[in-house]
A and B are shown apart, each in its own frame.
Chain A
Amino acid sequence: MAKRILDIIDLKRSFTVGSETVHALKGVSFTVDAGEFVTIMGSSGSGKTTMLNILGCLDKPTDGQYLLDGVDVKGLSRDELAKLRNRKIGFVFQSYNLLARTSALENVELPLLYNNDVPAEERKEKAIKALESVGLGDRLDHVPNQLSGGQQQRVAIARALVNEPVMILADEATGNLDSRTSYGIMALFQELNTKGKTIVFVTHEPDIATFSSRTITLKDGRIVKDVKNENVRSAKEVLAAMPVDKDE
């Protein structure tokens, strides 16, 4: 049996806005095993973002249990959460969030700076390896504004991979990209998944969900659908089948 990465039991999260209490998550339970590629779907207001923040250890649940790679997140301090994010989660954001005027290599090295287990000498080597694995081995010294959107997102993915996390957490990672580049990024995610990476992908695009092996749909703070995708599309094939844009 595959190792359990996420174990979520009756998770609740409520916010107090003025005198009213808003229940963003009203009791969510699911598990994710190592090697899965899960998309979390939902329209705005479904509790998707709240879910993402909790999964990313940026926020803590009001009630219920969240085990990440066997660690109970509840009761951890701010510093311990930071360490957990550093070691176990690789974030990929919609707007890439690369440091401006900073080379791709240094951007990828960033998580290693906060990881005391990686000696300084190994940082560069690891960062180069991560950039090579996303196909940017020849762009090490480029700064973000010398890179296309797709390339920037690849740098961000390399940054997410560099600390060898148990899970990659993507937040609308293709939201800012045109469909062709999106498929390229999805192909990269699929490739990483076949190499054994666990991926949790939060999105509102149903099209993107077809590339994952499982889709969880949230609505009004509850899971309304949790289905295995029997017919996973290959992003690589879709990309190959696309007509080449004449403008390019």
Chain B
Amino acid sequence: MNLIKLLELAGKALMRNKTRAFLTMLGIIIGVGAVITMVSIGEGSKQSIRSQLSGMGSNMIMIRPFSTSTVGGGARLGTTGLQTLRLEDVKSIEEQAKFITDVSPSVSTNAQAIYGPDNWPTQMQGVAPSYLNIREWKLSSGMPFTDDDVTTSSKVCLLGQTVIDNIFTPGENPIGKVIRFGKIPFTVIGVLEKKGENTFGQDQDDIILAPYSTVQKRILAIVYIQNIFASAIDENSSDTATKELTAILRVNHKLKPNDDNDFTIRTQVELINTISSTSQLLTVLLTAIAGISLLVGGIGIMNIMYVSVTERTKEIGLRMAIGARGRDILLQFLVEAILISITGGIIGVVLGVTAAKLVTLFLGWPTLVSQSSIILSFAVCAITGVFFGYYPAQSASRLDPIEALRYE
């Protein structure tokens, strides 16, 4: 007996008991609908956190000095006092690293930014021109500084929006104006696009960017650098890039194989994963609850299939008498169970997708209906059908034709 015929037979059998078939399906419909809606809510929140974080430059890698060595009575040194990162490290990375697209040194200092009668305490970060690429930061007006500005340690700067709001009068164009940072005058050549608060509530726009050489020589009078920022060629190569950077820096710092690293490398991906794992947990919980309702739906199918087998004992006896093998009977009932669960699954998918859309529409929660959740819940449905349909179908196939025929 071929599959089409089996499906036709099963379809007819179900149509004879429409209400019952629908009620049996309802368990599956609710189960699948719940799985899809729940997963889409979970995925949606994960996606929104992820996109917020990528706004910070998702390929970004940050290198900070780190030391296990101690001074005096065993007190460990903090990071700011460490002078292990050098410009040579940046050069080596530029020359040797294959998985890094951009690299920039970073030094920063705090002081008052002053323009006319107004002043504002802020941070000046000295970086290379490539820093803007690393942070995926654009200018809303003006021009970025160049490698020439770095070479000549020019007193030029890019202002963050918060700084502008605090020291310029509204509507005034800051480009070309000279502000003072501490005691040193800087010419404003560009305005940074507003980035807003980061995930931790820090204002990312409260900053002034300047060439690193200017900050190093004219303000701090140091030769070392505080941090190195770099970006991996893509999000997936963060790990490879981290390994590569570690190797380069260890050679540069002449570390012996047994020595600990005198720096730490942080990637944005790690951060994303940490935060995502929270919402991942939420997704798993929601899915588990939805999964239970799918299980209950499956038991409903099993129950109805047993009723159906008992009810149709005589039919089974007849089919056997005219030549149906146990296998044919088994398949017939199995296909019926699978048809119930798959039809329920299809309705459930439609319902779940609609519910997810409604959640976004009325509650404003981000939802994301992923293809995998549809495929997965569909597969679970089919498996539920097979699993819970198998035992009733098997008991049907093992009936004794003589007794089945005489069954009233």
Contact = CB atoms under 8 A, between A and B. Distances in A.
Interface of A: 53, 56, 58-59, 78-79, 82-83, 85-87, 91, 93, 97, 99, 101-102, 110-111, 113-115, 120, 159, 163
A114 B328 contact: yes
Contacts of B317: 97
B401 A58 contact: yes
B326 interface: yes
Given A93-B405, A113-B1, A114-B1, A56 B323 contact: no
B322 A79 contact: no
A115 B323 contact: yes
B400 to A, nearest CB: 8
B16 A120 contact: no
Contacts of A163: 323
Contact of A82 (B2, B314, B315, B323): B323
Given A59-B402, A97-B314, A101-B16, A114 B325 contact: yes
B405 A82 contact: no
B253 interface: no
B218 interface: no
Given A83-B325, A111-B323, A159-B322, 5 more contacts: A58-B402, A79-B327, A82-B324, A83-B323, A93-B318
Contact of A120 (B2, B326, B405): B2
Interface in B194-245: none
B351 to A, nearest CB: 30
Interface string B296-330: 00000000000000000011011111111111100
Contacts of A159: 322
B321 A85 contact: yes
B254 interface: no
B5 interface: yes
Interface residues of B, number: 22
Contacts of A58: 320-321, 401-402, 405
Interface of B: 1-2, 5, 12, 16, 314-315, 317-328, 401-402, 405
Closest 10 CB pairs of A and B: A86-B323, A114-B323, A82-B325, A111-B322, A97-B318, A79-B325, A85-B323, A58-B402, A58-B401, A114-B324
A113 B3 CA distance: 11
19 contacts: A58-B321, A58-B402, A58-B405, A78-B326, A79-B325, A82-B320, A85-B323, A93-B318, A93-B405, A97-B317, A97-B321, A101-B16, A110-B319, A110-B322, A113-B5, A114-B1, A114-B324, A114-B328, A163-B323
B323 A97 contact: no
A114 B402 CA distance: 19
B247 to A, nearest CB: 67
A177 B235 CA distance: 82
Contact of A87 (B2, B12, B323): B323
Contacts of B327: 79
Contacts of B325: 78-79, 82-83, 114
Contacts of B323: 82-83, 85-87, 111, 114-115, 163
Nearest to A56: B321
Q: Max chain B CB contacts within 10 Å: which of A82, A93, A97?
A: A82
Nearest to A96: B318
A58 B402 CA distance: 6
Contacts of B324: 82, 86, 114
Contacts of B5: 113, 120
A97 B405 contact: yes
A110 B323 CA distance: 9
Nearest to B400: A58
Contact of B402 (A53, A113, A120): A53
B322 A114 contact: yes
A82 B319 CA distance: 10
A194 B59 CA distance: 91
Nearest to B324: A114
Contacts of A83: 323, 325
A101 B325 CA distance: 23
Contacts of B315: 99
Nearest to A52: B402
Nearest to B322: A111
B407 to A, nearest CB: 11
